Structure 1
């Protein structure tokens, strides 16, 4: 099972769109895919019409039951989607209390990794959507993954947020004594806007080959797909944004084969 975490310490840069689109593409390629929502705002869950506040269990219960986790307990928390091979582990607002309630407990940073290890034979890919805040949830998602995908909106303020994310990865690498493989993905790119072009060039200058050579363009079909509660690759398979994400997917898979 391959785990990718989609993270950035700035909101509104395309994390959930990236998670949903890559997950949908993988599911359409006959892969069994789990999307994990670790954001208390639950945007990923609501994308698929899952109101986790009305569910009997969610990713919150995985944390609460961390000392007694079993494979069945984790699987019981999953919800299906319109795609047969695409599932979601939904979030709930209760996640916002985890740092205060459990943040100082030993082993809190490895709970998601433990949960994913328990269900490793059930899925080909797991994609984790992170909150834009460094805390127990992001630490868990980073610790559990093989690769980090960092969507960055091609505008000045988003580049400042990226600096914080890179600092976080440095801290995590030291504490876990491991290097993190990460890929920066320029999103919401509009070649007609000078600020977007400048931001992309700045990304390439500062981060070199850690930046994907392609871009995810601005595409209204993403918004329409979310309204239809359907992955963009299913809703509008020929959309330019979907085409870009398919190229990104192939690139990440090629990187995984080399590592």
Structure 2
């Protein structure tokens, strides 16, 4: 059990249980079933749409047009958010997708659509210096313990890069109970996943590996989630005059709250 600042005020203590997708031994084919599902859900339902305004502010503060996405999995919401950034804010962006366990099949589809997806593993705590651009993470912070979250944020700050991390999992009793619905959602959304392979159908409907694995990881994700006050406690330890931190929640009508951390370099005007 972790005990960051403000833990005593939380209704549920943070439990850093094991998540299947984090394990190096987890079969790549089964991990891809999960990451492809999460990409489909985030795209079809637009669960991260509320992040667009925060992303736009971060991009403008950074002065760049490149998103370096960390923990991309099956591409995540980045393709959809790039379209929304252009439609809502007139910002044309390029994106580089990365992951500690790259999804080779998703990478191929991303490249066909004109988005880079690096084939080599990238650790969000130690991003290669040649990867320049605003860093993003979507539903990835809960994979890290509090001290590791600090490493992720501090690495961006040290390099002078903007960073924005977004979470739609929340550590509440309601969210924990909501994970009981995950197997049904997997059954419902699987026909929408492309490509719809025989292996995916087999491990979803005949042998329910994907529904059960996603249900377990969903439960663990809620118990691992960092509350906004805990994230604020972490960013307070990173305060510097040349870098600004912001933690909050945003929401779009009809959709759940999105917790975010935004870090941006402060550019002082010169006479």
Query: Which category describes the TM-score, using the shorter chain as reference length?
Result: 0.3 to 0.5
Q: Highest Rg: 1 or 2?
A: 2
TM-score calculated relative to the size of structure 1: 0.35
- TM-score between the two structures when normalised by the length of structure 2: 0.34
